[in-house]
Structure formats: structure tokens, C-alpha cells
A and B are shown apart, each in its own frame.
Chain A
Amino acid sequence: MAKPVGASRSSLLNDPRTRAWAFQIIAIVAVVALGWYLFQNTQTNLQNRGITSGFGFLDNSAGFGVSQSLIDYSEANSYGRLFFVGLLNTLLVSALGIIIATVLGFIIGVARLSPNWLIRKMASVYIEVFRNIPPLLQIFFWYFAVLRLVPNPRQSLDFMGTLFLNNRGLYVPAPVGAEGLTAMLVALAIAFVASIVVFRWAKAKRHATGERFPVLLTVLGLFIGLPLLAALVFGAPLHWEVPQLQGFNFRGGWVVIPELFALLVALSVYTAAFIAETVRSGIQSVSHGQTEAANSLGLPAGKTLRLVIIPQAMRVIIPPLTSQYLNLTKNSSLAAGIGYPDMVALFAGTVLNQTGQAIETIAITMSVYLTISLTISLLMNVYNKRMALAER
């Protein structure tokens, strides 16, 4: 007479599955209703203010100049082109910031673990000071306090006749292509292909015989030797155009505008403090047994570090490192505070004020950052899956 399991439920209301369904339907209906309500309000509000929604405004002429642009841009160009100006400026400051912050962060992270007491303490002080001060304040400090002390172009601070710092920015020599450029590029391409071949061959040999081939030295030799040879045969690939003082300003070379300079210094210094902590904890996460085991196998200190410690530490370091890179990219939006023409300052700032297209400009700006973040997270997930330890 036994009833089948589960048949004794008295009411449909007490069945967890029914309740889960009901709950989910309620949740979705609530979200859709909220969305619809907001949409309706927005429609009414836009109509009342006489704003036409849509992305048609992107074709209109922008009518204002930009202090730094990586592509050709003039006041007559459209808002659509302005979008790319802003995007490229954001990517430029992020890319440069990431490079500087990584180098600085790794040096300080390693210094934090140094056996030298003084170096260790200095690294800690750096980390604690810079990560506990808001990045925007640091940007303001560099821009409004430090760069204000810099003299005008005629009294520029001169670094060995090549770099000049004044209140219009940092002037650096610009590379200009010369006759040997093509030969140099070909040489680099050959070196690149050859390095891949050498790398594969060395790996196969190591797997087959256990012998190590000095890959790094060979690759370095290829990358330095071949271009050098090309330069000797076909002439110098580049010459440097050094900035010259003419009248009241400098001509030639590249100029890093003060906004970019302040933003770069502040973001790199701030993010480097976090990267240093990531690097430190990554290195510390490799247990001491690994070092001892490597020593007992007879590996010298350099090889222990290169073959045992660093590969294992990198596994721990890379995920938080990527999120620091993402943070730096997102923090580059603080540019709006000092008027560096990045994505946010141009689009969510100036364009929004000029056109009144609040929803469109903010949606465009947010989707740029969302795309960057989600792409990187996706790549990170793939990386984590590949790198995950095979747990037994």
C-alpha cells in the first residue's frame, strides 16, 4: 500500500519546484514592469523637453577642438569621429599606465621581500602611502601642485638636451622613418619567425633528450643581431627628431601634454602599489618546500627562481594582476577631473552638454568600458581554466 515517494505532498503550494517557478516568474515580471515604467517615464520626459532620441547626432559636426588626438581631427569633424578620438586617448593612457605600473609594481613587490631591511621598509612605506590616498587627489596633486611649479618653455627643464619639461608638457624626441626602415622591419619579421622555430625545436629536443638549449640567448641574439646587420647594410632605420626651442615654444618631437603627464604619473604610482602587493603575495604563496626541493635536486639559485618559483607564482599573480589592469583602465576615466580628453571627459562631459543626448552618450561611454571589462574577464576565465591545478 506504500505510496510513491513525493506523492504525499498535501498541496501544490508546498512543492519546492512550483514555488521556485512562481518565484522566478514574479521576479522576471517585476523587473520587466520596472523597466517598462522607467521607459515610459523617460519617453514622456524626453517629449516634454523636446529631445529626440537616437544616434543621429553622431553625424553632426562637433564644433570644438581637442587638446590631444591620435587621429586627424578638427572642429568640423563629426561626433562619431570624436568618439574614436576619446576611445584612443583612453586606450593610450591605459596602455602606457599599465606598462609603467607593471614595471614599478614588480620592482617594489620584489623589494618588499628583500633581505635588505632598508629596502624592505622603503617598499612598505611606498605601498602604504600611495594605496591609501584617493587616485583623484593624486592626479590633482600632480596636475595642480607639481606641474604648476614647472617653468615656461624658455626656461624648460632640460634633460641632456633631448627631453624638455615645461608648462606646455614634456617634449620627447620623435622617431622618424629613414631609408633603412623597410629592411629593419623585414629583419625583425625574420627574427620573429626564426625565434618560434628555435623555440619549438628546443622544446622538442628537451622533451626527447632532457638537454636544455639556451633559447633565451639565441632569441636575444636573433632580435639584436639581425636588425643590427640590416642597419649596417641598408643604413639607419630611424632618426630621432629632437625638439628645438623656436620663439616661445618647441618645434618637432612628440609632446606629452600636462594632463596626460599628470594622469599617467598618478595612475601608475597608485596602481603600482597594488601590483606590488599582488606580486609579494604571489611569491609568498609558493611554499618554501619548493625551494628546498629544488635545492636538493641541485638547481642553482637562478634556475630555482626561473624554473620553479616564478612559474608557480605567476599562476597566483596573473588573475589579480589583470583585475588591477582593469582598475587602471577604469580609473583613467578620472581624466575628466583635469580635462584630459578621454572617453568620459569628451563624451559623457562635453558632448552630453552640447547635445543634451544624455541616454545615448552615457550608454555609449558605459558600453565601451563594459566591452573592455567583459572581454578581459572572459579571457581570464579561459586562462584560469587552462592554468588550474589538476587536483587529485
Chain B
Amino acid sequence: MTTHTFKPDLPPPGKTVGAWAWMRANLFSSPVNTLLTLLAAYLIWLLIPPLLDWAFISATFSGTTRADCAPGGACWVFIKERFGQFMYGFYPTEERWRVNLTLLIAIVGAAPVFFKAMPRRAIYGIGFLIVYPVVAWILLHGGVLGLEQVPTTRWGGLTLTLVIAAAGIAGALPLGIVLALGRRSHMPAVRVLCVTFIEFWRGVPLITVLFMSSVMLPLFLPEGMSFDKLLRALIGVILFQSAYIAEVVRGGLQAIPKGQYEAAGAMGLGYWRVMGLVILPQALKLVIPGIVNTFIALFKDTSLVIIIGLFDLLNSLHQATVDPAWLGMSTEGYVFGALIYFIFCFGMSQYSQRLERKLDTGHRR
């Protein structure tokens, strides 16, 4: 009896593996592709080295004044010197720990919502959404519990941007859900009211809404009553954003099969129980990515409050660049601002895309 010994496997053909083969398949598969690759490489060569040179190699990182900066490179000293203003606006320096603490509570408090193992996540989440704004208001505004009062006119920078975005979404979400339910209602009067409301806010630019809330809102109020500027802007943002949320939620409501409504009705549940216990939990889960996308849009839109004179991140940057002590720093300022907005928006959009893949439970058919 002879024993068979297998010969070792031959290596795969050299043309199909390795860096060279990958390049042939992805970069040089045809004459047109080769040309495109070369063009793209040339473009990168034109753009990237000068950019790196400006941002890092010729840039100045240490110093305290404009005079310390070398010409020809970025002057990051400007950002370093004004960092506090970009983050906190005119919030008193010795009280800035309160802003940090508010943010820390938000992160620590919201973290359990993202852990699957956490029992009763939904109830905890809703409770957090109700309790947190109160805590945040007390901490940021003060005036009670021995905290020094900081009026909203002194809030600014990234802090204000985050406050507007967070308050905007927290206010717009419940209103948007109610509007979406109203738009799907069988009662014609309710439906018409909701459709009019939604289409009105969706049809106008946010700037006009902000103008309206800053100059028209005071006219609507009874005599002697007035809101501060931030609250007026927030009302405008919430009304505007609720219309967009309503459309996103409506998409979710429409994606729930009719059988779910019928089954819940057959169990003898009334309208609010059908919605609250059966439809909304499913629909809202479906539209979380859509809501995150709306939030990204809201986060970018907060930059428009510069028009009515609030000092959000963009306005803080803008004011710093027109400061005579730091003239000519516009590029550094806006690049830094763009980076911050990018980190937030890109991070959220990646999260939303991951959720979308995870939540794809095959409801949409």
C-alpha cells in the first residue's frame, strides 16, 4: 500500500494578489482609468503638500501675540489665545466649571441609554430627557442654590451652539410627534391644521423665522411681557424644527403595516393606547436615523443665530477675526470652526448610518 502525500498548494497567480494586482484592478484597469488616476494624483499633489505645509510645517504653535507668528504658515496661537472665548463665549471665567459639569452630566447621564444590557432603557431615557433640562438650566443660569446668576446674554461659543441644538431637539421632538399623529388623523379639521402648520414652516428659510421671532414675537405678547433674546430664538428654532421632525416621524408611521393598527384595535385598545403602546414604539425606532439626520441639520442651522446677534460658535469666531489685535486670522479661525462642526456632524452621521444598518429589521416592504 502506498501512502499518498499531497504536494503543497501552488501560490496563486502573481497577477491576482498583492499590491500590484490591486493597483491594476483599482487604478489602472483601462487607459481612461489610468488617465483619471494620474489626474487625481496630480490634483492631490497640488493640494495636499501646500496644505500640510501651511497647517503644520510652517505653522506657529507657541507664543501669545500676533507678532510671534511666522509669515507663510498658520498662526494657531490665535486659536490657543481665544480658545476660552470660542468654547464659553462671555461666560465668567471662574464659573466655567459649571458649563463643563453640565456637559459631563449629559455624557454620563445619557451613556446608559446606549447600553443594551441596561434594563428599562426607554423609561430611563424619557426620565433623563425630562430631568436633565431642569438641571442644565439651574447649573448654567444659576441664581439659585448659591450659584451666581449668569444671564443668557453672556452665554456664547460652542456652549451656546450646544444649548440651542439640544433645547431645539428636545422641544421639537414632542411637538413633531404630535404634529405627525395629527397629519395622519382621520379628523379632517385636525389634519388640515397640522398640514398647514408643517408646510408653512417647511416652506420658509430659517433666517426669516429667526427674524420673525426676534422682531414679531414681542408684538404678539401682551404688554409688559418680554422674553430674552435666546428664548425667542429657541421658540423660532423649535417651531421650525418640529415641522421637519413631523415629516420624519410620519415616514415611520407610514412604514408600519396596517395589520399592526388592526390587531391593536381588535384587542380593544383605544386610539392613544394603540399609538402609545403599539405604533409609536415601532415607528420611532424606525426613524431614529432620520431624527439624527434632522439633528445634524439643526446643529448646522444653529450657526444662523449670528443674524439676530447671538454669540454662538460661528459668531465668536467672526468677532475674534475682526479684532484689531488679530487681523488677518480669518482663515485660521474659520478652519478651526469648520473642524469643530465637522467633528460633531460627521460623528453623528456615522452613528446614524450604523444605527440604520442595525435597525434594518425588514419592516419596509
Contact = CB atoms under 8 A, between A and B. Distances in A.
Interface of A: 20, 23-25, 27-28, 31, 38, 41-42, 44-46, 48, 114-119, 122, 128-129, 132-138, 140-141, 144-146, 148, 330-331, 333-334, 336-337, 344, 348-349, 352, 358-359, 362, 365-366, 369-370, 373-374, 377
Contacts of B149: none
A196 to B, nearest CB: 35
A336 B205 CA distance: 12
Nearest to B203: A373
B85 to A, nearest CB: 17
A-side binding surface: helix, strand, loop or mixed? Answer: helix
Contact of B203 (A148, A358, A370): A370
A313 B257 CA distance: 27
Contact of A135 (B212, B219, B300, B349): B300
A46 B349 contact: no
Contacts, number: 158
Interface of B: 26-27, 29, 33, 36-37, 40-41, 43-44, 186-190, 193, 199-200, 202-208, 211-212, 215-216, 218-223, 296, 300-301, 303-304, 306-307, 314, 318, 321, 328, 330-331, 333-335, 337-338, 341-342, 345-346, 349
A137 B341 contact: yes
A362 B189 contact: no
A237 B304 CA distance: 46
Given A41-B222, A137-B314, A358-B215, 19 more contacts: A20-B187, A25-B189, A27-B187, A27-B189, A45-B218, A46-B219, A118-B26, A118-B36, A119-B36, A132-B296, A132-B342, A134-B301, A137-B337, A141-B330, A144-B334, A148-B330, A330-B205, A334-B304, A359-B216
A344 B215 CA distance: 14
A135 B221 CA distance: 33
Contacts of B337: 137
A41 B208 contact: no
A119 B341 contact: no
A117 B338 CA distance: 27
Contact of B36 (A114, A137, A330, A348): A114
Contact of B341 (A24, A28, A133, A331): A133
B223 A334 contact: no
B306 A337 contact: yes
Contacts of A114: 36
A188 B306 CA distance: 48
A48 B223 contact: yes
B338 A362 contact: no
A116 B36 contact: yes
Contact of B193 (A27, A128, A337): A27
